[in-house]
């Protein structure tokens, strides 16, 4: 259960290679923890993507082998946009590209052999109400098979 850094960086690199419209590579950031009130955080430049752990890793006692355990690492991918006309089109385009890049695929350069994508709210109410920001999130469930120690 020691793969967090590798997985978060693998997610970041995958997103950068997508070359999403209007997204600068320097605006794809790994944060140490989920943001409690994303609408209140300052962001130097938008659009941006934040990647964070989305809770504790989990093991499934019914999966794995006698020598390995299947461990799921939940990762939150949050896309943040300023408000402007036709923003919905860009938000939905990014969500579709992100889901397609990760769902049921291995995560390159990591021990994750399959990712499941869980869509969250299209637009976070708190971010919209407090700052008029479009915050759209998905959760990635990164499945690894790790040797027992």
Residue 30 CA to its chain's centroid (Å): 9
The model's pLDDT over 35-46, given as tens digits with 9 standing for 90+, comes to 665 555 555 678
Q: Which domains does the chain have, with CATH numbers?
A: 4-147 (3.30.2000.10)
Residue 134 token pair: 């479009």
Mean pLDDT of the chain: 87
The model's pLDDT over 67-114, given as tens digits with 9 standing for 90+, comes to 888 899 999 999 999 888 888 999 999 999 999 999 999 998 888 999
Taking the model in full, what pTM does it have?
0.89
4-10, long-range: CB < 8 A, 24+ apart: 4/53, 4/57, 4/73, 6/109, 6/110, 6/111, 7/73, 7/75, 7/107, 7/110, 7/112, 7/142, 7/144, 8/51, 8/52, 8/53, 8/75, 9/109, 10/107, 10/108, 10/109, 10/110, 10/112
pLDDT more than 70, % of the chain: 91
> Given this model, what pLDDT does residue 39 score?
53
Nearest Cα neighbor of 30 from 47, 8, 6 is 8
């Amino acid at each position: 259960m020691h793969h967090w850094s590798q997985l978060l960086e693998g997610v970041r690199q995958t997103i950068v290679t997508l070359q999403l419209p209007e997204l600068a590579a320097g605006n794809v950031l790994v944060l140490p923890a989920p943001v409690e009130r994303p609408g209140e955080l300052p962001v130097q430049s938008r659009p941006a993507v934040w990647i964070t752990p989305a809770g504790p890793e989990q093991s499934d006692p019914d999966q794995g082998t006698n020598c390995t355990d299947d461990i799921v690492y939940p990762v939150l991918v949050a896309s943040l946009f300023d408000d402007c006309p036709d923003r919905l089109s860009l938000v939905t385009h990014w969500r579709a590209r992100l889901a397609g890049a990760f769902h049921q695929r291995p995560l390159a350069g990591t021990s994750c052999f399959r990712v499941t994508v869980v869509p969250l709210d299209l637009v976070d109410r708190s971010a919209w109400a407090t700052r008029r920001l479009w915050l759209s999130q998905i959760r990635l469930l990164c499945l690894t098979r790790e040797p027992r120690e």
